[in-house]
Homo-oligomer: A and B are copies of this chain.
Amino acid sequence: MVTFEMISPADFFYRNRDIAGFTNPARAIFSSVRELVENSLDASDQSRVPSEIYIRLSNDGEESSEEADVYKLRVEDNGSGIPPRHIPSAFGQVLFGSKYKLKQARGTFGLGGTMAILYGQITTHKPVDVASSTGTTRIHRYKLMIDIQKNRPVILDSKIQVNKNRWRGTMVEFCLEGDYPRAMAKIVEYLKQTAVVTPYANITFVDPKGRLYKFNRVTSKMPRPPKETLPHPHGVDVETVRRLIQITKCRNMIDFMKTHFHRIGEKISHNFLKFAGIDEKKDPRKLEPDEIVKLVRMMKKFEGFRSPDASCLSPLGEDLLKAGILKELEPEFIAVCQRRPSTYSGHPFILETAIAYGGNVPRKDDIVLYRFANRIPLLYDEASGVSWRIIKSINWRKYKVKPDMPVAIMVHLCSTKVPYKTVGKEFIADRPEVKAEILNGIREVARQLQRFLSKREYREKERRRLAAFSKYLPKIAKFSTELSGKEKEPDIRKLLWSVRKFEEETE
């Protein structure tokens, strides 16, 4: 007998936590830190105050099994804070969030933070503690659990405290099973790479052994915040248009196009509707299903739209990217590049790349790749990501890069929609437009590295040549003198001095 059943989204992700990055105790503790830190970074971007993030992971005393201990994780930020009425849902309900806007954000799924809390609950059965203030005279504290079957927060306790110092931010604390010893390296690497890509953040991490990791800001300059944007006509589907029709106040198609889509003025609206064969005066609410389909198809075909502007994006910028890399890797050579805005299926994106050589760049058997998307590091499944495949396809000898050289490449993709292939935000799907930009971005910085390496190679060769020369110079001078029949040898010291001078100049 077959029975049918409906499950809640919380229940779905509870049953399928592998796909959200909670595969095992080590991975779970890494994902929890990561999801909360990213929420914190987003919150401080919103408040336009350089981030202060404090992370504390402590042993909760209990040992739960051979491979997992119980830890208490606390993450505090100075971000925008959460309006009190939204606190229970923001932490106790899956698919509830503030990030469904069309602009760049770290989290995109309304899932990560709650997923960490849900994982804590199913492994320890303990509530989460949340305190938050938007900077008013009050701090709101909640003790919550999640009703997984109903996808609802259960409020166990709530109180209001006086906010004497006008603190603004959010604090989350909960217990979870995890395997810190096996997750440690990844967590520290994650924070380090986050520091590279967030050079305006102070990040403090106290680990269960009491070790302190501090990543200090080198600048208080923050990237321009992203603006919310309207959808680009090349990126919409039938469902989007259907929803717009339901809410629109426009009573004709000219206005409808101008009001709800990105960078459409009177003239483009007119040209497009003519191209699409749609009556300009038609009431959008009276479009039939097949007319909506036609509208969407014509939008994809029409080439007269302006390309999306990048105000909804917030790339790091060459200076900040450089500052971040110099701070964490102290390389001998660095080149950074920000590509011009581009689009894939109507979603604008900007690609930033950097190459670093020497210094603290780890020397491995291959190029070290740091991948970032919307200012978060991607640490898992490198081989599946598009960037790695592109790096592998490049003939590095052309750029004078040998496998044993300490070379690191950074690829940073900013977009309103990062084409992740997993909920766990591990790697980026292949999109031809994105691929082309990554390739060009890497090539551009690689060429700069090539020039640096060539120059160095040339100097090295010259130096060796001159060193040999200076060694034999006295003899040569003597023989030449004899050979030419002259009596006085040339001033060798003068010759040697010019050799030394070359060496100094190229130092």
* A interface residues, Cβ below 8 angstroms from B: 2-9, 12, 14-16, 18-19, 23-24, 46, 64-65, 80, 83, 86, 89-90, 93, 95-98, 100-101, 108-111, 121-126, 148-149, 237-239, 242-243, 289-290, 292-293, 297, 300-301, 381, 383-384, 419-424, 429-431
Contact = CB atoms under 8 A, between A and B. Distances in A.
A424 B421 CA distance: 9
A96 B108 CA distance: 24
Contact of A239 (B148, B242, B429): B148
A98 B5 contact: yes
14 contacts: A4-B86, A4-B96, A5-B96, A6-B95, A7-B110, A9-B12, A15-B100, A18-B420, A23-B419, A65-B301, A123-B238, A383-B383, A383-B384, A421-B422
Contacts of A96: 4-7
Contacts of A95: 6-9, 12
A211 to B, nearest CB: 27
B422 A122 contact: no
A108 B420 CA distance: 21
B100 A5 contact: yes
A429 B3 contact: no
A155 to B, nearest CB: 16
Contacts of A293: 124-125
Copies of this chain, whole number: 2
Nearest to A85: B4
Given A6-B89, A6-B93, A65-B300, 5 more contacts: A3-B98, A5-B96, A19-B423, A123-B238, A125-B292
B242 A125 contact: yes
A237 B23 contact: no
Contact of A19 (B23, B242, B420): B420
Contact of A18 (B12, B101, B110, B419): B419
Given A100-B5, A148-B239, A421-B19, A289 B109 contact: no
B64 A297 contact: yes
A3 B3 CA distance: 39
A419 B7 CA distance: 20
A93 B4 CA distance: 12
A4 B98 contact: yes
A382 B126 CA distance: 39
A18 B429 contact: yes
B23 A123 contact: no
Q: Considering the complex of A and B, which 4 residue pairs feature the smallest CB-CB distances, nearest first? A: A122-B239, A9-B9, A125-B238, A4-B86
B14 A239 contact: yes
Contact of A2 (B98, B110, B424): B98
Contacts of A123: 237-238
A225 to B, nearest CB: 12
A247 B165 CA distance: 49
A129 to B, nearest CB: 15
A429 to B, nearest CB: 5
A364 to B, nearest CB: 19
Nearest to A118: B239
B422 A243 contact: no
Given A65-B297, A98-B2, A125 B18 contact: no
A431 B18 CA distance: 11
Nearest to A46: B2
A6 B14 CA distance: 18
B423 A126 contact: no
A132 to B, nearest CB: 12
Given A16-B109, A384-B384, A80 B237 contact: no
